[in-house]
Amino acid sequence: MPKRKFGKGAHKCIRCNRYGHVYQCYGLSLCRRCFRELAPKMGFKKYG
């Protein structure tokens, strides 16, 4: 089966291997749950 090029199954989280809701910006490749856990350590701040 060929690898998906777009859609939810195209990218997976590098930390927990989940598909869907993966942030690709800045080369992160983290799902939303892992991003929320690691964001303060990486220097992202929550506004609002």
In a domain, 18, yes or no: yes
For residue 32, what is the enclosing H or E element?
A: helix 32-42
What is the reported pLDDT for 19? 92
What is the reported pLDDT for 12? 94
In a domain, 32, yes or no: yes
Count of beta carbons in the 10 Å neighbourhood of residue 29? 16
pLDDT at 1 over 90: no
In a domain, 2, yes or no: no
Domain ranges, residue 20? 11-37
What is the reported pLDDT for 39? 94
8: buried, middle or exposed (CB in 10 Å: 19+, 13-18, 0-12)?
exposed
Query: Is this prediction's pTM over 0.85?
Result: no
Domain total of the chain: 1
In a domain, 48, yes or no: no
Alpha-carbon dihedral of residues 26, 48, 40, 17, nearest 10 degrees? -60
